[in-house]
Amino acid sequence: MKMKIACVIHSLDGGGAERVMAGLASRLANRAHSVTLITLDDGSHDRHEVDSSVSRQPIDVLSTPHRTVSLWTRIRHLRSA
């Protein structure tokens, strides 16, 4: 049975959790599931690649010292993604 799956993580910019998420999304897509990988960053510093069949959606809602993003803004962007 084909499923629609959304995976969410803060970024793909290094680290073990990021590597595992990229691999998980890719393996699920290779099993013919419809996979969307959503990251909270802008996607410009990815260090881990995902399979081309994974729909990649960076939503750019991470807070930085120069930019504060509210929880409600994050939730709104996640819901629309």
The 3 state secondary structure assigned to the chain is: CCCEEEEEECCCCCCHHHHHHHHHHHHHHHCCCEEEEEECCCCCCCCCCCCCCCEEEECCCCCECCECCCHHHHHHHHHHC
pLDDT at site 38: 98
pLDDT at site 64: 87
Each domain of the chain, given as residue ranges in start order, spans 4-80
pLDDT tens per residue across span 37-74: 999 999 999 999 999 999 999 999 999 899 999 999 99
Q: Is the pLDDT of residue 1 over 90?
A: no
pTM: 0.90
